Amino acid sequence: MIEPAIQQKINAWLGGNYDEATKSEINGLLERDEHEALADAFYKDLEFGTGGLRGIMGAGSNRMNRYTLGMATQGLCNYLKQNFPGERVKVAIAHDCRNNSDVFARIAADIFSANDMEVYLFEALRPTPELSFAIRHLGCHSGVVVTASHNPKEYNGYKVYWNDGAQVTAPHDKNIIAEVNKITSIDEVKFEPKPGNVHLLGSEMDEAYMAKVQSLSISQKAIRNQHDLKIVFSSIHGTGITLVPEVLKRFGFTNVHVVEEQATPDGNFPTVVYPNPEEKEAMTLALNKAREIDADLVMATDPDSDRVGIAVKNLEGQFELLNGNQTGALLMNYLLLAWQKAGKLTGKEFIVKTIVTTDLIKDIADSYNVTMYETLTGFKYIAEKIRELEGQETYIGGGEESYGYMIGDFVRDKDAISACALIAEMAAVAKDRGQSLFEMLVEIYTQHGFYKEELVSFTKKGQRGAEEIQQMMADMRANPPQLIAGSKVVEVSDFKHSTRKNLVTGEETKLDLESSNVLQYMTEDGSKISARPSGTEPKIKFYISVNEPLASKEDFDDVDQKLNQKIEQILVDLKLK
């Protein structure tokens, strides 16, 4: 039995001005009595989460299609006209390799042009960070990129950017939704283009962006000495292939091996289950290539090239995937040391990380007397912090545990292109010192403590899944743990209610962050456990961070084992396995 409210939406689509292919798809589901699929397709409208609009492609109000995209775009047009009255509004558009991404990008361009806006559309697929750069470079008021990042192939999405090149934050995100919700019929969407308003972007923008990336280089001498560093790169069928090899070449690297089986952009991602460099399986071909040529460094970018995963040889000489926390700690340490050596640290510099990212980065920043700010999960909040401090403090770099990094502020979103270049440069510096990147990481551990993180995700699909996730969060709020892995919980932060309570003193402080459905527990021994429903996927995520002192490289295995046991006990205590 289909709920009346859902049936009403279905009827509106079947009776409305929708194309025959859309109606045929809905009728097919009705004929096959696929009530669960219909409920999931229509029980809500696609909303802007931490990553904008994102959903499974298909017919329905909760699906990514020309109509949901059209209404979002028309709502954005209306909001832009309100915000910039009397101005000729300019918008930039890019898209990734996914199925229908080019089609959706063209539909968006048509709607913006029909609304008498100046549209700058990339002529072919491009990395998301280049879109962020183009907005700033061209002085645009807004921008969109059609992508679903690292989601499975059934998904597509639509990220919305503001005039600073960052993804929209409050109040704009909610105000855009409000404008979209005012549109009661697709007949209100201006689908008929005005071609004269659309301008194509190509190699000139690539050149401007790559010049900025090149300006980030710190250690040219090390690259000259180690120019033949063996690098394996995979774009995992995504947009990274358009710029990463060229940027590495321009930095001075002469021995880059592209994983050819994954070099052709393909929205079906034929060689992987998930096009996500966080997944070991997605890195298999790159690791095989690395073993074959005895590489120094492996790097792989996700479909829209805003995130990068890496692998390096560990202390036993075996390739090991680094997680986002480890790579982030390496990068922040590298940047801060370089700024210190160059005499550029004046006391007004800062770095940024998210609340679920390793506190090792804070320890590193403290050792250089550099301020570290924390934001909610999502790079739009890091960009917001930069905007807030512009002209007062200087941004060096920032990152989050989910493989996203941003060095310099000419892009205002995570940027795997510049990250790949700086990671390769960092590997060259390490090799110049007779070290591997892994040994460089262990050195950081001996200075600041050995931090180890684990991410556990539970996928809960559809309407029922969303309700289960909400119930899990409600239960944890009602019954917080008092002891985790034998250590007392001493602090609870509830980002939804913007409170942090010290359970030892009873003191409660207000958190100066936007409300977000995240719970965080700190224990007496320095462990940190965070629970957070994903804003872009039907998942609830648990982030676990533990740490111990590391006296020397020789103690690495023993301390590693101790940390693994502690993580295992946390998983058991919180019933996460």
Tokens found for residue 86: 């009397």
What global pTM score does this model have?
A: 0.95
CB atoms within 10 A of CB 219: 18
What would the pLDDT profile of 264-296 be if each residue is shown by its tens digit?
999 999 999 999 999 999 999 999 999 999 999
Looking at every residue in the chain, the average pLDDT score rounds to 95
**Taking Cα atoms as reference points, which of 278, 326, 284 lies closest to residue 306?**
278
Query: What's residue 536's pLDDT?
Result: 66
Distance between CA 327 and CA 115 in Å, rounded?
43
Which tens digit of pLDDT belongs to each residue from 303-348?
Answer: 999 999 999 999 999 999 999 999 999 999 999 999 999 999 999 9
Cβ atoms of residues 393 and 533 within 8 Å: no
Q: How many residues does the chain have?
A: 577
More confident of the two residues 149 and 249: 249
- Of 212, 54, 205, nearest to 120 by C-alpha is 205
Sheet containing 349-354: which strands, arranged edge to edge? 371-375, 349-354, 394-400, 404-407
pLDDT for res 51: 57
Assigned token pair, 275: 């096009």
Distance CA 159, CA 90 (A): 16
Residue 535, pLDDT > 80, answer no
* Residue 217 appears among annotated catalytic residues: no
Cα-Cα end-to-end distance for the chain: 35
Q: What distance in Å separates the CA atoms of residue 310 and residue 543, rounded to the nearest whole number?
A: 20
Closest CA to 12 of 59, 48, 53, 74: 59
Residue-level pLDDT at 461: 84
The per-residue pLDDT for range 439-477, each reduced to its tens digit, is 999 999 999 999 999 999 999 888 889 889 999 999 999
User: What pLDDT, on the 0 to 100 scale, is given for residue 530?
Assistant: 98
pLDDT tens digits along 427-436: 999 999 999 9
Average pLDDT over residues 55-60: 95
Residue for token digits 């309407």?
A: 463
The catalytically annotated residue of 132, 149, 487, 516 is: 149
Q: Where are the beta strands (DSSP E) in 57-154?
A: 90-95, 118-122, 142-146
